[in-house]
Amino acid sequence: MAFHTIFVYGTLRKDQPNRPVVEPYLVSELGLGQIHGAMYDWGFCPAVTLEEDGIVVGEWIKVTEEGLARLDRLESYPTLYDRVVVEDLVNGIRGWVYCVPKERVKGDPRVESGDWVAYQANRLVARR
């Protein structure tokens, strides 16, 4: 059976709304990580481009072949998101990440921290 290592940075992270989509296919959680890129706020989810300087915070997971196919459908790959191999800046793990070309995020707010979970938590606090 084939397994795939994937870097998740938004709604697929632990305790986030789309995590249940991946859980049936989850083989292992490999821990936190960081990749080179820039994160943008699309409202309902983040988008990452690898064409800009910055750090994107996320988690590394390993999924089954069926899990990768399910994530491809969720991420509308290859129509909306691309899927490319990246390497973690700290621990050297390599795997897939879903990203978009720089022109797709033009005009969208940048998530300067590169951490969607922290960004969402700060937005909730700011609304109170």
Cβ atoms of residues 49 and 99 within 8 Å: yes
pLDDT, tens digit, 9 for 90 and up, residues 110-128: 999 999 999 999 877 666 5
pTM for this one?
0.95
pLDDT, tens digit, 9 for 90 and up, residues 14-24: 999 999 999 99
- Please give the Cα distance from 82 to 74 (Å, whole number): 12
Q: How confident is the model at residue 33 (pLDDT cuts 50, 70, 90)?
A: very high
3-state secondary structure of 118: helix
H-helix or E-strand spanning residue 19: helix 19-22
3-state secondary structure of 37: coil
